[in-house]
């Protein structure tokens, strides 16, 4: 039998495969597809016009703008930081390296609410620098800088985490080869190190961006929820929902989902577009 000849020792019986795949699909449908569908269904409950109108309300537009500005600041910052951190960790040996790796993971293990509170404690009115900031009429908490800071804190592991294993796997021999042929540090970085990690970097940036636009907890603490001013999209969704404006809430939520979908499409496109130089191929 032709099919039998393709069987491998590790193959499980058909019913087991079907069961496992079924469980996965059912679980995905329940916790992922259903809620996602619900978001769009609820948003369109009173028709497309109502949804569009809700998104085009001045407060909603302000929230979209604030979210995009925050991501536009936080993501490049974290991309640069992540690249530096990964380069330092993967290509060099220094004291305290293990500690640095642990620190980079901190935002993943600390509750975002705590992260937000830290900034309130430092920069808030009653905080360490509160008086100093008031004297100079600088606003960090309940303003854009606080929101950006909180977002940066929560999203900074993404790029570094994506790049560290990639760079470690690639080792340092290509850099050594470049240096032995007379290339300087910067030249080596731009011509050898960076091109080898560009796909990983873009992937990390996309993940970072998705999280930056969606962050709720930390931003919620530092934002102050001033409508049209310090409300990001996730916060705006919550406000509308609490005001029983379900169509509005779900319409903005749907827009947020669409941004995530665009991110996912970009990510898939990146994976498909990788030419002959597949990030990890080579050997």
User: Where along the sequence are the contacts to another protein (CB under 8 A)?
Assistant: 173-174, 176-183, 187, 191-192, 195-196, 276-278, 281-283
Beta carbon nearer to another protein, 13 or 282: 282
**How far is Cα 267 from Cα 231, in angstroms, rounded to an integer?**
28
Beta carbon nearer to another protein, 69 or 179: 179
Beta carbon nearer to another protein, 96 or 275: 275
Minimum gap (Å) between residue 93 Cβ and another protein: 11
Site of tokens 């390296």: 97
Minimum gap (Å) between residue 266 Cβ and another protein: 21
Beta carbon nearer to another protein, 153 or 203: 203
Beta carbon nearer to another protein, 97 or 278: 278
Minimum gap (Å) between residue 238 Cβ and another protein: 45
Site of tokens 């929560």: 154
Distance of CA 89 to the CA centre of its chain: 21
Beta carbon nearer to another protein, 111 or 274: 274
Site of tokens 């809620």: 35
Q: How many residues does the chain have?
A: 283
Minimum gap (Å) between residue 197 Cβ and another protein: 10
Beta carbon nearer to another protein, 108 or 190: 190
Annotate 157-221 with DSSP letters as a single string. Answer: HHHHHHHHHHHHHH-SHHHHHHHHTT--HHHHIIIIIHHHHHHHHHHHHHHHHHHHHH--HHHHH
**How far is Cα 110 from Cα 222, in angstroms, rounded to an integer?**
16
Minimum gap (Å) between residue 279 Cβ and another protein: 9
Minimum gap (Å) between residue 86 Cβ and another protein: 18
Minimum gap (Å) between residue 268 Cβ and another protein: 22
User: Cα dihedral sign for 239, 241, 244, 250?
Assistant: positive
CA atoms within 13 A on the CB side of 123: 22
CA dist 57 to 151, 246, 254, Å?
25, 14, 15
């Amino acid at each position: 039998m032709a099919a039998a000849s393709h069987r491998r020792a590790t193959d499980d019986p058909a019913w087991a495969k079907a069961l496992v795949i079924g469980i996965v699909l059912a679980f995905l449908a329940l916790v992922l597809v259903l809620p996602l569908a619900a978001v769009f269904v609820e948003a369109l409950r009173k028709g497309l016009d109502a949804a569009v109108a809700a998104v085009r309300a001045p407060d909603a537009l302000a929230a979209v703008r604030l979210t995009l500005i925050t991501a536009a600041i936080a993501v490049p910052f974290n991309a640069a930081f992540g690249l530096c951190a990964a380069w330092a960790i993967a290509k060099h040996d220094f004291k305290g390296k293990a500690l640095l790796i642990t620190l980079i993971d901190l935002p993943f293990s600390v509750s975002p609410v705590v992260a937000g509170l830290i900034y309130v404690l430092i920069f808030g009115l009653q905080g360490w620098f509160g008086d100093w900031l008031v004297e100079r009429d600088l606003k960090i908490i309940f303003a854009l800088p606080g929101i950006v800071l909180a977002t940066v804190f929560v999203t900074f592991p993404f790029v570094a985490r994506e790049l560290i294993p990639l760079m470690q796997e690639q080792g340092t021999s290509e850099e050594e080869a470049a240096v032995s042929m007379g290339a300087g540090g910067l030249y080596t970085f731009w011509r050898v190190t960076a091109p080898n990690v560009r796909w990983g970097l873009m992937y990390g940036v996309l993940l970072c961006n998705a999280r930056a636009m969606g962050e709720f907890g930390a931003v919620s603490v530092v934002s102050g929820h001033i409508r049209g001013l310090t409300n990001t999209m996730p916060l705006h969704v919550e406000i509308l929902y609490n005001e029983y404006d379900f169509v509005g809430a779900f319409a903005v939520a749907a827009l947020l989902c669409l941004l995530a979908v665009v991110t996912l499409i970009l990510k898939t496109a990146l994976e498909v577009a990788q030419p002959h130089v597949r990030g990890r191929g080579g050997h």
